[in-house]
Amino acid sequence: MNTNSRNGPFIINLKNYLETSGDNTIKIVKDAERVSEKLNVEIIISPPQPSLALIAKQSKLKVISQHIDLKKIGATTGFYIPEIIEKVGAKGSLINHSEHEIEIDEIKRSIEKLKEMKLISIVCIKTFEGLKEILAFEPDYIAIEPPELIGTQKSISSEKPFLIRECSSVINKRNLKSKLICGAGINKKDDVKIAIENGSAGVLVSSSITKAKNWYDKILELASAFNQ
Ligand code: G3P
CATH value at residue 144: 3.20.20.70
Q: What is the pLDDT of residue 5?
A: 42
Closest CA to 61 of 8, 121, 114: 8
pLDDT at 33 over 80: yes
Q: What is the mean pLDDT of residues 130-156?
A: 96
Q: 3-class DSSP state for residue 61?
A: coil
67 belongs to the catalytic site: no
Annotated catalytic residue: which of 33, 67, 97, 221?
A: 97
Q: Is the shortest distance between the CB of 185 and ligand 1 below 6 Å? A: yes
- Any idea what DSSP says for residue 200? -
In whole numbers, what is the pLDDT of the chain averaged over residues?
Answer: 95
CB 7 within 8 A of CB 40: yes
Q: Is the shortest distance between the CB of 123 and ligand 1 below 6 Å? A: no
What are the counts of helices (DSSP H) followed by strands (DSSP E) for the chain?
10, 8
pLDDT at 204 over 50: yes
CB 139 within 8 A of CB 176: no
Q: How confident is the model at residue 4 (pLDDT cuts 50, 70, 90)?
A: very low
Q: Is the shortest distance between the CB of 145 and ligand 1 below 6 Å? A: yes
Q: What is the pLDDT of residue 227?
A: 85
Distance, in Å, from the CA atom of 185 to the CA atom of 192, rounded to the nearest integer, reads 11
Q: What is the mean pLDDT of residues 15-25?
A: 97
Enclosing domain of residue 113: 3-227
97 belongs to the catalytic site: yes
Q: 3-class DSSP state for residue 161?
A: helix
Q: What is the pLDDT of residue 73?
A: 98
Distance, in Å, from the CA atom of 103 to the CA atom of 38, rounded to the nearest integer, reads 40
pLDDT at 96 over 60: yes
Q: What is the mean pLDDT of residues 91-119?
A: 98
Peptide bond just before 50 cis, omega within 30 deg:
no
Q: What is the mean pLDDT of residues 140-169?
A: 98
Distance, in Å, from the CA atom of 148 to the CA atom of 146, rounded to the nearest integer, reads 6
Q: What is the mean pLDDT of residues 191-211?
A: 97
pLDDT at 2 over 70: no
Distance, in Å, from the CA atom of 151 to the CA atom of 207, rounded to the nearest integer, reads 6
Q: Which amino acid is at 59?
A: S
Q: Distance from the CA of 72 to the center of ligand 1, in angstroms?
A: 30
Q: What is the pLDDT of residue 6?
A: 52
Q: What is the mean pLDDT of residues 193-221?
A: 98
Number of domains in the chain: 1
Q: Is the shortest distance between the CB of 206 and ligand 1 below 6 Å? A: yes
CB neighbours of 21 closer than 8 A, spacing ≥ 6?
A: 14, 48, 51
Please, how many CA atoms are within 13 Å of residue 5, restricted to the half-sphere of its CB? 19
Phi-psi region of 152 (alpha: psi -120 to 50; beta: other; left: phi over 0): beta
pLDDT at 62 over 80: yes
Q: Which of 11, 64, 207, 208 to mutate to test the pocket of ligand 1 (most atoms within 8 A of CB)?
A: 207
Distance, in Å, from the CA atom of 207 to the CA atom of 150, rounded to the nearest integer, reads 8
Give the atom of ligand 1 at the shortest distance from the alpha carbon of 209: 9
